[in-house]
Structure 1
Amino acid sequence: MSARKIAEWHDAGLIDTATRDRLVAYEADHARPLLLWAVFGIGALAIGLGLVSVVAANWEDIPGLLRLTIHLALIAGLLAVLFAREERLAEKSPWAIEALVFTLAALGLTFFGHIGQVYQTSSPLWQPLAVWLALFAPLLLLTGRSWPTALALMGGAVWCAWEYAGAMTDYGNGGPGLGLLLWLAFVTALPVAFAPLAAWMRARSARPDFWRRLEQLALAYAVAGASLATALAAVGAFGDGGLTKEWASMATSGAVALAAGLGVVLARPGTSGAMAGAIIAGAGLVLPLAYAADNLTLPPALLFFALWGGIGAAALAAHWRGVFQLSVGVIALRLIILSFELAGDLLMSGFGLILSGVMILGVAWGAVRVSKTFAPVKEDAA
């Protein structure tokens, strides 16, 4: 906040002189020299890029064992700094801890690739990812402060799950059996289980921001999966709708999401927790229904509207202004796409293009009006 803005508020009579003085004093005590930080950051970046360039230019001349030793020593050194200075660093700047932990996680992930390069080994990608999760997920859970570490943890889990599913699926030999499909569906849906864990820890940890972000990422994963399922069903991507073994796998994923949603409701009592859990559970219910509606036009779109309409209703109840506005915008966009799907021939004529343009403007105007009129005044933390 600038001193000029504070002075304008005082001149307009919005704040009195005492409040103005307190604001000015607070801003002076908590001022961040962004320009100076930027200079330091540019200097550090230049040094880092220089070191990387020197190492890259002489990469083949450095013995592989020496490279691995240096890599491992960097990890060990950063771990030592983290555990020896965590409290002091956290008092000065929580973001220092966040940056340190994120760097550690990145070094740990690249270490496995480094091993493969030195010893010319190869393995399915999910295996080093699984080892990385086993070694570094506890560190991220115990020390993470905000969204970078939460994103690293959630992203690593999702990446590992889908790499495992891809490696274990062999459609060239008749496709996987029912048991394997159910197992793979369970594995790919498992990252949603971070939601009840994070919901339970939010009120019991000194790092609520980290757990809130982790819960939000798990919720976003569930919603994204359900939304993608309706989109795939609309274009017939599942290939064969109905009650097949693939449908059973979708139902398994849905059951995991449903259980995670109920877990959030139980772990975090209150309106916000109930609405977050309801969204995750609703996403789980959409999955098998979307598969059953494969290769149809209207039913998958209606499922999409139901999902995001429910998200909008939950946002209203929990006073999540941004989420409500997002849901309105997403529904408006899907409505436009649906109109093209139902009347695609109109786009082949100039008159049809004019009507489509008018419709798009009308839907956009309506979405803005709805968002402004019904959006909650206050947005709470989800």
Structure 2
Amino acid sequence: MVTGRIARWHEAGLIDAETRDRLVAYEDEHSRPLALWAVFGIGALAIGLGLVSLVAANWEAVPGQVRLALHLALIAGAFAGLWLREDRLAAASPWTVEALVFVTAALGLTFFGHLGQVYQTSAPLWEPLAGWLLLFGPLMLLTGRAWPVAAALVGGAIWCAWEYNFAASGLIRRASNEEPPYLGMALATALPVLFAPLGAFLRARSARPDFWRRLEQLALVYAVAGASIMAALASLGAFDTADGPLDMPSQLVRGAVGLVAGVAVAVLRPGLSGRMSGAIMGGAGVLVAVASVANDIDLLAAALFMALWAGIAAAALIAGWRGVFQLAVGVIALRLIVLSFELASDLLLSGFGLVLSGLLVLGIAWCAWRVSRRFAPDEAGKAE
């Protein structure tokens, strides 16, 4: 398939014969027998599923201590493989190391659940998650190479933070009449955004820049998603007027952490891309801090939401991120459609209102498509 495309390039005059021959020789040398690898993969999957079925069928017959010992042996074996063969595996294929690190981290996470099952113990979910991050987080930070391990690390931190938030609130309310430590809970839920400045600092100073870039991007996605959700909650009137998990002091803490993280990204990665990433994160922090002002005010809440995404679109234009710009335009268009339904909900009860709403949706979609096509950066611009 690739050689046929190269031949068409030559026929179209895009490359000369010498370049064609070099490309064909390179592809022949580096080609992969995908069909053969697929057969190997199917065979390995069948063996794995068979082993899982055998273990599951005889799970209760195996003593708990034996199962735990086998589980620990698997973790130790994975650690030993990384310790002794990481450089050699990375030279052959970085994805091999990435897969081994991910599997090791997954074995570590499931070990906590296995331990609780054997000894019939229970604890708030954030506690084993925090233990897993403490024990396996350094491994992922030191050996991760791509997005799977980065996603596991950032996702685990977010999961742990919010589990702590919900567990602390419920536990303290049940145990006493005292109010939970809302400021501490807000700080915990905001801390995952600090992966962004860490990634921004290390991506140009490490032999694993892809891993740190993904770490920064995932933290940025968390910040933007959190700010967008806060704007949506404001539209629903969900903010607390008195003490609560979404009261003004808690929101100020979350917003301050996001703003500090954004400034740190811009300082630690001073190029155009770094400044735009920092601006987006800082803007998300500001929105989180002021979202409660728009509580139960549909128009203001929607304006805050669209201001955030308009800022993202502007940053994407400056930095040349075509996909991010098109996403931002689409999100703004979707929010406009939702806002039109919120402001004219009574019209939806009539046939004429439904027709008008349909025409409005089509008009917004057409305008978004035109803006996205006309103003989007060139294909060469990619999010960094």
TM-score (norm 2): 0.96
The superposition leaves residues 58-112 of structure 1 with CA deviations (integer Å, 9 ceiling, x where unpaired) of 0011010000000000000011111111111111111100100000000000001
Asked whether the 8 Å contact 2:240–2:247 carries over to 1, the reply is no
CA distance in 1, matches of 2:23, 2:177: 70
Q: 1:176 — aligned with what?
A: 179
Counterpart check, 1:312 vs 2:313: yes
- Alignment check: 8 A CA contact 2:256 2:289 kept: no
Q: Is residue 93 of structure 2 the alignment partner of residue 102 of structure 1?
A: no
Shift of 1:380: 3.1
Q: Which residue of 2 aligns with 1:380?
A: 382
What is the deviation of 1:381? 3.8
Distance 1:366 1:245 in 2: 36
Q: CA deviation at 1:41?
A: 1.0
Q: Which moved more, 1:198-207 or 1:353-362?
A: 353-362
Partner SS, residue 295 of structure 1:
coil
Aligned to 1:121, the other structure's residue is in SS state: coil
Structure 1: tracts of 5 or more residues without a match: none
Q: Spell out, residue by residue over 1:181-222, the C-alpha distance to the aligned partner (whole angstroms, 9 max, x if none).
A: 111101100000000000000000011111000100000000
Find the counterpart in structure 2 of residue 135 from structure 1. 135
Aligned residue identity for 1:186 = L
Which deviations, in whole Å up to 9, do the C-alpha atoms of 1:244-303 show, x marking residues without a partner? 981110110000000100110111011100000110110000012111211111011000
Aligned residue type for 1:86: E
RMSD of Structure 2 on Structure 1 (CA): 1.6
**Does residue 10 in structure 1 map to residue 10 in structure 2?**
yes
1:86 counterpart = 2:86: yes
The answer to which of 6-15 and 138-147 deviates more is 6-15
Determine if contact 2:324/2:383 at 8 Å carries over to the other structure: no
C-alpha displacement at 1:242, in angstroms? 11
Q: Distance in 2 between the 1:299 and 1:245 partners?
A: 18
Deviation at 1:51, TM superposition (A): 0.5
Per the alignment, residue 45 of structure 2 pairs with: 45
**CA distance in 2 between partners of 1:381 and 1:136 (Å):** 29
Q: TM-score, normalised by structure 1?
A: 0.97
Report how many aligned residue pairs link the two structures: 380
* 2:101–2:143 CA contact under 8 A, matched in 1: yes
Corresponding residue for residue 263 of structure 2: 262
Tell me the CA shift for residue 161 of structure 1: 0.4
Query: Are the equivalent residues in 2 in contact too, given 1:242–1:291 (CA < 8 A)?
Result: no
Task: State whether residues 101 and 149 of structure 1, in contact with CA within 8 Å, keep that contact through their aligned partners in structure 2.
Answer: yes
Question: Secondary structure at 1:206's aligned position in 2?
Answer: coil
> Corresponding residue for 2:117?
117
Distance 1:66 1:158 in 2: 33
Q: How far, CA to CA, are the matches of 1:380 and 1:11 in structure 2? A: 30
Gaps of 5+ in 2: none
**Contact map agreement 1:223 1:280 (CA 8 A) in 2:** yes
Preserved contact between residue 182 and residue 245 of structure 2 (Cα < 8 Å):
no
Cα distance in 2 for partners of 1:283, 1:381 equals 18
8 A contact 1:241–1:291 mirrored in 2:
no
Kindly tell me: are residues 183 and 221 of structure 1, through their superposed partners in 2, closer, same or farther at Cα, counting changes over 3 Å? Answer: same
- Asked if 1:346 is matched to 2:347, the reply is yes
Q: Once the 2 structures are TM-superposed, how far is the Cα of residue 176 of structure 1 from its aligned partner?
A: 2.5
Shift of 1:32: 2.0
Residue 348 of structure 1: how far off its partner (Å): 0.9
Letter in 2 for 1:88: R
| CA-to-aligned-CA distance 1:282-335 (integer Å, 9 cap, x gap) | 000001211121111101100001100000011111111110010000000000
Partners in 1 of 2:318 and 2:114 — Cα distance? 49
Q: Percent identity?
A: 65
- Structure 2: distance between partners of 1:374 and 1:241: 44
User: In structure 1, what is the Cα distance between the partners aligned to 2:244 and 2:85?
Assistant: 57
Q: How does 1:151-190 map to 2 (within 5 A)?
A: 151-170=151-170, 171=173, 176-177=179-180, 180-190=181-191
2:79 pairs with 1:76:
no
The answer to whether the 8 A contact 1:75-1:104 is kept is yes
Cα distance, 1:30 vs. partner?
A: 1.7
Mapped to 2, the partners of 1:208 and 1:367 lie a distance apart of 35
Q: SS in structure 1 opposite 2:237?
A: coil
Structure 2 contact 193–261 (Cα < 8 Å) conserved: yes
Q: Distance in 2 between the 1:70 and 1:52 partners?
A: 14
Quote the Cα distance in structure 2 between the aligned partners of 1:380 and 1:329: 18
- Kindly indicate whether the alpha-carbon contact (under 8 Å) linking 2:259 and 2:286 is maintained by their aligned counterparts in 1: yes
Q: Distance in 1 between matches of 2:234 and 2:40?
A: 51
Q: Does 1:228 align with 2:229?
A: yes
Native 8 Å contact 1:241 1:295 kept in 2: no
Q: Is the 8 A contact 1:240 1:294 kept in 2?
A: no
Aligned position for 1:368: 369
